[in-house]
C-alpha cells in the first residue's frame, strides 16, 4: 500500500542555518546546543585554559550566572587542554547563551522539560522518510523532502535458486546511505526500538509523529516498526530459513530512490539473519498483541517456524555474498541465537526456550573453548549489529517470569552494574563527556547512543541517578559537546551535518540534507570527521545508528 504524508515542519530549538561544510576546526565552546533538562547536570567544554564563563538569558540580555571554569585538564584523544564550564545550578526553563573568556563566540542552548520531544520527533520521522516501496513527503525548515514510490519490483530469486522469477519483498526501510535492505541490521534497529517501547512506552505515546497511520488502532511508534516488520516477514522461506538481504549487485549512484532501476536480488539465507528474525517476530508478537492480535499471532507463528529451523541447523551458516559488492553484515550467529531464545521464552513462557538460553550462556564457543559465565554472561559497554547479546541479556534479566537461574540472575546484575560503572567513569574522565571514551571507528556515534541502553538498565536495577546522568552525557556529546562543537544529526542543533553520505540528499534538488539522521562520526581518530558526502567512513547514515538515538532520546522525553 502506498502512502504519502505531509509532515509538519519542526521549529524552535531545532532551527539551524545552512552554511558551508568542510572539516571544522576545534570549537572554542562545545555544548549541547539543542538543550538541557532543568534538574540535570549541564556542562560545556571550553578549549584551552579558561578562567570563567557567563550564562546570558536571551529574552532580556541579563547575566544569570557568572562562574569559574574548572582547572585545565588534558583531553587524551585530542591532545587538547580544555576547561569545563558547569552550569548545573541553572534550572529555570528558557533560552540562553554561554560566553567564555578568550573568545567572542557565544553558543545558544535551551533549558526545558520537553527539550528532547522535538528531536525525538525529528529522528523518528527520519525512519519514516527511509520507507521503501511508498511515497514519502516531509517539510522541514521551509524545504520539502519527497520521493515517489520506489523499488516496487523487489526482488529477484536468481541468487537463491529461483532464476529470473520474482517474489514480492516490497517495503521496509532503506538501510543507510544506500537503498538496500538487510535483515541483520534490521535486527540491531528493531530490537533496540522495541526495547525503547518496552522501557518508555508511556512518554513515547504522548509524542505526535504525524505518520500516515496516525489515528489508527496502532500507536504511531509501533506503526513505524510494523512497516519494517511487514517487509521482514517476506524474507522468511517456507522451511523457516531467512534470506540475508535484498540488494542490488553493487552500490548505485546518488539519485532519488524512485529513479533507481537496477535489479535487486535476494541473498541466500544465513543463520544470523534467521535468528534475528526469530527475536524480532517474537518481540512483535508481544507488543502488537494488545492492538492487532491477529498480526501478533502471525509474527509468533513466523518466530516458531524459524526457531524450529535453527534447531535443525545448529551450525553457524554464514551468508553467501559472492554475487554482491554491497553491505555484508556477516558475523557469527551465537549472539543472535542467544537473543532469539530469550525473546521466545519471554513471549511464550515455554521452558524449552529458557533452558536453551541458559545452556547457551554456559556453553563452549564455536571453537570448543570453554568460556563459562565470566566470558559470555556479561554485558558489553560497546556493541552494535555484530554482537546483539545485550538484547537477550536485557530481556532475561528484567523478565517477570518465573524459572530463571538465581545464580545467573545475580551474576548478570553484578555485570550490568560493573559495565555501567565503567561507562560512567569513562564519561567523567573524558574532556567532552564522551561515554565511549577514546574508541573511534565506523559508526561509533551510534554506539555512543546505544550505551544509554546499558545505563538505563542499570538505573532501573539500582535507582542510581548517576547512570541517567551519564546517558545524558552521551546525548550532549552527539548534539554538540564534542571537539567540533557541532551537532552530529542532520537538521538539528548548531551547524549540523550538511553533506551526509546519503543518496537522497545527494540526488535531489534541495540544498539541505534530509533531516533527522545521525552520522557515523569520527573514524579512526577523534579529529577525523569530515562533513563531505564522499566520506562514507565518517559521514554516512544508517538505521541502526538512528534506532540507537531514538532509544537514547526516548529515555528523556520526561524526567
Sheet holding 29-30, edge to edge: 29-30, 43-47, 80-86, 73-75
Domain membership of residue 432 (yes or no) is yes
Q: Return the half-sphere exposure (C-beta side, CA atoms, 13 A cut-off) of residue 52.
A: 6
29-63 residue pLDDT tens:
999 999 999 999 999 999 999 999 999 999 999 99
Contact 315, 364 (CB under 8 A): no
* Cα separation, 74 vs 70, whole angstroms: 12
Is 69 in contact with 58 (CB distance < 8 Å)?
Answer: no
Half-sphere exposure of 254 (CA within 13 A, CB side): 16
In a domain, 333, yes or no: yes
Burial of 518 (0-12, 13-18, 19+ CB in 10 A): buried
How many independent structural domains does the chain possess?
1
pLDDT of residue 377: 78
**178 tagged catalytic:** yes
Q: Catalytic site residue 540?
A: yes
For 12-31, what is the mean pLDDT?
59
**265, 323 in Cβ contact below 8 A?**
yes
Confidence of residue 23 (pLDDT cuts 50, 70, 90): low
| pLDDT tens, residue by residue, 134-149 | 999 999 999 999 999 9
Q: What are phi and psi of 281, to 5 degrees?
A: -70, -30
Residue 398, number of CB atoms within 10 A of its CB: 16
The residue among 69, 62, 106 whose CA lies nearest residue 87 is: 69
> What was the pLDDT predicted at 25?
76
Mean pLDDT taken over the chain: 94
So what's the pLDDT on residue 17? 37
Over residues 479-499, the pLDDT tens digits come to 999 999 999 999 999 999 999
Contact yes or no for 80/431 (Cβ under 8 A): yes
Largest CA distance in the chain: 72
| Per-residue confidence band for 82, with pLDDT thresholds at 50, 70 and 90 | very high
- 453-478: burial string, b at 16+ Cβ within 10 Å, e else: bbbbbbbebeebebbbbbbbbbbbbb
Q: Does residue 2 belong to any structural domain of this protein?
A: no
Percent of the chain with pLDDT strictly greater than 90: 91
- Structural domain includes residue 489: no
CATH (domain of 256): 1.50.10.10
Taking residues 62-76, report their average pLDDT: 97
Is 386 within the bounds of a domain?
A: yes
In the annotation, is 421 catalytic?
no
3-state DSSP of 437-457? CCCCCCCHHHHHHHHHHHHHH
Output the nine-digit C-alpha cell for 438: 577514546
- Give the single-character DSSP code of 519: B
Cell numbers representing residue 258 in the block: 524512485
**Cell numbers given for 322:** 559472492
Give the model's pLDDT for residue 364: 54
Omega before 480 within 30 of 0, i.e. cis? no
Could you say which of 175, 501, 508, 530 is catalytic? 501
The answer to whether residue 69 is domain-embedded is no
Contacts of 62 (CB under 8 A, 6+ apart): 56
Percent of the chain with pLDDT over 70: 93
Model pLDDT for residues 168-212, shown as the tens digit of each residue: 999 999 999 999 999 999 999 999 999 999 999 999 999 999 999
What pairs with residue 44 in β-bridges? 85
| Range with the poorest average pLDDT among 7-21, 66-80, 114-128 | 7-21
User: Is 48 inside a domain boundary?
Assistant: no
Tell me which of 178, 292, 346, 494 is the catalytic residue: 178
| E strands in 31-121 | 43-47, 52-57, 63-68, 73-75, 80-86, 94-100, 106-111
pLDDT band at 24 (very low <50, low <70, confident <90, very high): low
CA–CA distance, 530 with 521 (Å, rounded to integer)? 9
Average pLDDT on 293-315 reads 98
Residue 165 domain-assigned (yes or no): yes
- What is the per-residue pLDDT across 339-392, written as a single tens digit (0 to 9) for each? 999 999 999 999 999 999 999 998 755 433 444 554 567 999 999 999 999 999
> Which residue, among 464, 387, 460, has the nearest Cα to 184 in the 3D structure?
387
How do residues 403-457 score in pLDDT, each as one tens digit? 999 999 999 999 999 999 999 999 999 999 999 999 999 999 999 999 999 999 9
Q: Which residues pair with 512 in a beta bridge?
A: none
State pTM to two decimals: 0.95
**Which range marks the domain in which residue 133 is found?**
117-482+537-554
Assign 5 a pLDDT band (cuts: 50, 70, 90): very low
Look at residue 9 in the predicted model and tell me its pLDDT.
29
**Bridge partners of 469?**
none
pLDDT at 21 over 60: no
Distances (CA, A) of 178 to 133, 257, 327, 490: 14, 9, 9, 17
Amino acid at each position: 500500500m502506498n502512502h504519502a504524508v505531509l509532515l509538519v515542519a519542526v521549529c524552535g530549538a531545532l532551527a539551524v542555518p545552512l552554511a558551508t561544510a568542510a572539516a571544522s576546526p576545534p570549537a572554542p565552546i562545545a555544548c549541547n546546543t539543542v538543550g538541557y533538562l532543568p534538574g540535570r547536570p549541564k556542562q560545556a567544554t571550553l578549549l584551552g585554559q579558561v578562567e570563567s564563563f557567563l550564562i546570558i538569558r536571551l529574552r532580556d540580555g541579563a547575566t544569570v550566572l557568572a562562574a569559574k571554569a574548572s582547572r585545565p585538564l588534558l583531553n587524551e584523544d585530542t591532545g587538547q587542554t580544555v576547561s569545563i564550564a558547569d552550569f548545573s545550578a541553572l534550572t529555570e526553563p528558557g533560552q540562553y547563551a554561554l560566553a567564555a573568556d578568550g573568545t567572542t563566540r557565544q553558543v545558544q542552548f535551551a533549558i526545558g522539560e520537553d527539550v528532547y520531544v522535538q528531536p525525538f520527533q525529528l529522528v523518528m520521522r527520519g525512519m519514516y522518510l527511509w520507507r521503501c516501496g511508498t511515497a514519502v513527503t516531509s517539510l522541514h525548515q521551509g524545504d520539502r523532502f519527497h520521493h515517489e514510490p520506489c523499488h516496487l519490483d523487489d526482488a529477484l530469486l536468481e541468487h537463491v535458486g529461483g532464476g529470473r522469477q520474482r517474489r514480492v519483498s516490497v517495503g521496509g526501510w532503506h538501510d543507510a546511505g544506500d537503498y538496500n535492505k538487510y535483515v541483520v541490521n534490521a535486527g540491531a534497529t528493531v530490537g533496540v526500538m522495541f526495547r525503547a517501547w518496552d522501557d518508555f512506552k508511556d512518554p513515547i505515546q504522548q509524542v505526535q509523529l504525524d505518520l500516515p497511520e496516525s489515528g489508527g488502532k496502532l500507536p504511531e511508534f509501533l506503526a513505524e516498526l510494523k512497516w519494517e516488520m511487514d517487509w521482514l516477514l517476506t524474507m522468511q522461506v517456507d522451511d523457516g530459513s531467512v534470506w540475508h538481504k535484498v540488494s542490488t549487485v553493487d552500490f548505485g549512484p546518488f539519485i532519488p530512490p524512485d529513479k533507481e532501476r537496477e535489479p535487486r536480488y535476494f541473498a541466500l539465507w544465513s543463520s544470523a539473519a534467521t535468528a534475528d528474525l526469530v527475536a524480532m517476530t517474537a518481540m512483535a508478537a508481544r507488543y502488537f498483541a494488545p492492538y492487532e492480535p491477529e498480526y501478533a499471532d502471525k509474527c509468533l507463528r513466523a518466530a516458531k517456524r524459524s526457531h524450529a529451523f535453527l534447531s535443525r541447523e545448529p551450525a553457524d551458516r554464514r551468508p553467501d555474498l559472492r554475487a554482491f559488492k554491497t553491505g555484508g553484515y556477516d558475523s557469527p550467529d551465537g549472539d543472535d541465537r542467544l537473543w532469539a531464545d530469550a525473546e521466545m521464552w519471554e513471549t511464550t513462557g515455554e521452558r524449552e526456550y529458557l533452558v536453551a538460553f541458559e545452556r547457551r550462556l554456559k556453553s563452549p564457543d564455536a571453537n570448543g573453548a570453554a568460556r563459562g559465565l565470566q566470558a559470555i554472561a556479561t554485558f558489553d559497554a560497546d556493541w552494535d549489529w555484530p554482537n546483539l547479546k545485550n538484547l537477550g541479556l536485557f530481556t532475561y534479566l528484567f523478565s517477570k517470569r518465573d524459572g530463571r537461574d538465581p545464580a545467573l540472575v545475580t551474576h548478570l546484575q553484578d555485570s550490568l552494574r560493573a559495565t555501567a560503572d565503567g561507562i560512567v567513569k569513562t564519561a567523567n574522565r573524558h574532556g567532552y563527556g564522551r561515554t565511549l571514551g577514546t574508541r573511534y571507528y565506523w559508526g561509533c556515534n551510534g554506539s555512543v547512543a546505544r550505551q544509554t541502553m546499558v545505563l538505563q538498565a542499570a538505573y532501573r536495577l539500582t535507582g542510581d541517578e548517576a547512570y541517567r546522568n551519564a546517558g545524558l552525557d552521551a546525548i550532549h556529546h552527539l548534539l554538540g559537546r564534542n571537539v567540533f562543537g557541532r551537532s552530529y544529526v542532520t537538521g538539528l542543533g548548531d551547524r549540523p551535518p550538511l553533506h551526509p553520505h546519503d543518496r537522497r540528499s545527494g540526488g535531489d534538488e534541495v540544498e539541505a540534507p534530509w533531516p533527522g539522521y545521525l552520522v557515523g562520526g569520527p573514524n579512526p581518530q577523534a579529529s577525523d570527521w569530515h562533513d563531505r558526502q564522499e566520506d562514507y567512513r565518517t559521514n554516512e547514515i544508517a538505521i541502526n545508528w538512528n534506532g540507537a538515538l531514538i532509544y537514547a532520546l526516548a529515555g528523556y522525553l520526561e524526567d
